[in-house]
Structure 1
Amino acid sequence: MNPSPPHPAQLIVDLGFGYILSGALAAAAELGVADHLAQGPKSPADLAKALGADASSLFRVLRLLASAGVFTEDTEGRFGLTPAADLLRSQVPGSLRDAVLMLTQKLFWAPTGELAETVRTGQTPFDRIFGKPFFDHLASDTAAGTTFHRGMSSLSDLENGSIARSYDFSPFQRVVDVGGGHGGFLIEVLQSSPKLRGVLFDHAHVLEGSRIASAGLADRCEHTVGDFFQTVPAGADVYVLKRILHDWSDEVCVNILRNCRNGMREGGRVLVIDAIIPPGNAPHGGKVLDVMMLAVLPGRERTEAEFQKLFAQAGLRLSRIIPTPTALSITEAVAT
């Protein structure tokens, strides 16, 4: 039997308190609580001693998280791991600790707290709060930039394999991952198509964290430093834009897409991997991410019609949309 929906008043209150859970989750991730529970449950006192924390405060945070299914409290007052809490460990497959640290850092939290200003003015307060636009801030603040790129890699690792397997790359010879970060998605693509060669294209400080060599793919993938606002490596069959266009305004997106259009071989493809906002009131991860974009960046999540418009302005045509097991879709475009 499905549980009954919350009373309307309770729904509003629960939503209003939502940031408390985010803060508690961030604290547990930053302190490394889950790593200290890998060998079994511990009392708040023992945990606090190991973490250099206050036992009473730690207990209260873990009690809240246990009520949400992150950690569990036994009859002796000891806290242990749940399957969700296990993902907060730092050295396990599928770890989301870096993702949590990214999503809950101040550069997202602070502008979202001033969302009313954005709705009134249509402008993010990010520049005012941090003194410069989002990606300029990441480039100038080493700690924030490292947290962001590690977090994005962690978050992307959840989806990269299933997205790469949703598209047949085998007919192609060369793929460019535009703004490909540390290469997590490109690794999955190259592993799925043994004859394919790749180009990981990003800024130099980002490529320093590349995982291509550690994946054993250095002989099939080159690293190219550049700025996709200016140009992209020429002569590829496929240009991948994964979680790129949603960061930018329509005008900027058209410029990026046009650069890909100008660079690709005859018969080439551009693959935009982003959420596609569906019609209706149903929950969708893209709707949450869209409001994050609204608060922090000039970009947005888009509908199918909005993608069609962008492609047309860049000399491309939407050829098909391929769903994936994730909240993202592969939107394929060809030259007009």
Structure 2
Amino acid sequence: MVRGEVGTAGGAEGERLRRSGAFLVDEAMAFLQSAALRAAAEVKVADHLAGGPLAPAQLAVATGVDERGLYRVLRLLATRGIVEEDTRGAFTLTDAGQALRGDVPGSVRTAVLMITDRSMWQPAGELARCLTGQLPVFDSMFGMPFFDYFAQDERTAAVFHVGMAAMTDPENAVIAGAYDFPDTGTVVDVGGGHGGLLLEVLRQNPSLDGVLYDQAHVLAGHRLAGAEEIAGRWALADGDFFTHVPDGDVIMMKRITHDWDDDRCVTLLTHCRRALRPGGRVLVLDAVVPPGNAPHQSKTIDLMMMASLGGRERTAGDFAALFEAAGLKLARVLPTDTVLSVVEAVAAGE
């Protein structure tokens, strides 16, 4: 054997290593599945397949792309069950692929484009730098922190805020219904974006008022004004949640704490504690990382948080420690029928 080469083991051990190698090579190439999904989303393949099967040549004309390249993308997506090729070579959109359409309720097309945007993709490719303490790598690659990058102009901001809304809107009604909100009082949605969650909470709890709290450029795209059933029960407040949080009986944050490191989370939660009215509750609506080896979306997104934002997903124990440092106490963790849980905190001593 030449020095530097790896020998080939024989027998059962050799077969075990061969299978391991084949598995790991397939795992390493899995990013191309995301690339194919993004390509299909960009040219709106799913929208053109909504009416039924189409041959690659027909799809290429409809989308304005190269037929052979499009076929190769679709062929890979067919292995993932997103489209299906028939014996004539035409492709059909499967049930699993329906939400890639842009014209259906619950569409995640813009969410796919956000998740696979270069702002997420490129830092993930440098994940090893995070292991040496260079957190987050996004800042050095893009020349500014994550949220500064997405606030720099309307088009860039839309990638994130519209994509996040598409990703999380389907969760809102489920989460709003999973928690027993008080009969009266004010709910403050901290970092609430365009107001999708607050809208559902107010719809399901007609005696509550709400405050949507975020930065001014985000609030400009809010959706509360068009909902007649909550008219007169909501208000907007703009500001920085690291310096102030409006007073409320329920202060909730959805997919916010995972964006930030522990120190910043304690600062935010301390402001929530100060803003909490007597008997009130702080609700952190985030994934709770489960123990064990089973797959869970939180374990995947955790690496995105590490590379792009410097934040992380947390266990129930992690949340308890953050609450304690902020003058709060973990009351309970309520799983929902989404990947998120309702992590409830009360003022320490209550």
Counting aligned pairs with the same residue, the percent is 53
User: RMSD of the alignment, in Å?
Assistant: 1.3
Q: How many residues align?
A: 330
> Which residue of structure 2 aligns with residue 142 of structure 1?
154
The answer as to whether partners of 1:175 and 1:237 remain within 8 angstroms in 2 is yes
The structure that has the greater radius of gyration is 2
Matches within 5 A, 1:216-227: 216=228, 217-227=230-240
- In structure 1, list runs of 5 or more residues that go unmatched: 1-5
- In structure 2, list runs of 5 or more residues that go unmatched: 1-17
The alignment status of 1:232 with 2:240, answered yes or no, reads: no
> Which residue of structure 2 aligns with residue 209 of structure 1?
221
The answer as to whether partners of 1:98 and 1:150 remain within 8 angstroms in 2 is yes
Matches within 5 A, 1:41-80: 41-80=53-92
The answer as to whether partners of 1:172 and 1:238 remain within 8 angstroms in 2 is no
Q: Distance in 1 between matches of 2:104 and 2:92?
A: 16
What SS class does the counterpart of residue 299 from structure 1 fall into? coil
What SS class does the counterpart of residue 267 from structure 1 fall into? strand
- Cα-to-partner distance string for 1:200-255 (whole Å, 9 max, x where unaligned): 10011111111112232342111111110110112x10000111011111111111
Question: Which of residues 97, 111, 120 is equivalent to 2:109?
Answer: 97
The answer as to whether partners of 2:183 and 2:207 remain within 8 angstroms in 1 is no
The answer as to whether partners of 1:178 and 1:200 remain within 8 angstroms in 2 is yes
What SS class does the counterpart of residue 121 from structure 1 fall into? coil
Q: Distance in 2 between matches of 1:282 and 1:66?
A: 26
- Cα-to-partner distance string for 1:62-105 (whole Å, 9 max, x where unaligned): 01101110111111111111112211110101111011011000
The alignment status of 1:185 with 2:197, answered yes or no, reads: yes
* Equivalent residue letter for 1:278: P
Q: Distance in 1 between matches of 2:290 and 2:184?
A: 30
Question: Which of residues 121, 131, 137 is equivalent to 1:109?
Answer: 121
> Which residue of structure 2 aligns with residue 296 of structure 1?
308
The alignment status of 1:316 with 2:317, answered yes or no, reads: no
* Equivalent residue letter for 1:226: G
What SS class does the counterpart of residue 165 from structure 1 fall into? helix
Deviation of 1:45 after TM superposition, in Å, equals 0.9
* Equivalent residue letter for 1:296: S
Stretch deviating more after TM superposition (324-333 or 9-18): 9-18
The answer as to whether partners of 1:94 and 1:154 remain within 8 angstroms in 2 is yes
> Which residue of structure 2 aligns with residue 265 of structure 1?
277
What SS class does the counterpart of residue 245 from structure 2 fall into? coil
The alignment status of 1:166 with 2:199, answered yes or no, reads: no
Taking a change above 3 Å as real, the CA distance of residues 178 and 51 of structure 1, as seen in their structure-2 partners, is same
- Cα-to-partner distance string for 1:107-145 (whole Å, 9 max, x where unaligned): 000000011111123422111110000001011143221
> Which residue of structure 2 aligns with residue 274 of structure 1?
286
Question: Which of residues 81, 85, 91 is equivalent to 2:97?
Answer: 85
Q: Distance in 1 between matches of 2:140 and 2:134?
A: 14
| TM-score, normalization by structure 1 | 0.95
What SS class does the counterpart of residue 15 from structure 1 fall into? helix
What SS class does the counterpart of residue 182 from structure 1 fall into? coil
What SS class does the counterpart of residue 69 from structure 1 fall into? coil
What SS class does the counterpart of residue 147 from structure 2 fall into? helix
* Equivalent residue letter for 2:113: L
* Equivalent residue letter for 2:319: F
What SS class does the counterpart of residue 278 from structure 2 fall into? coil
* Equivalent residue letter for 2:233: R
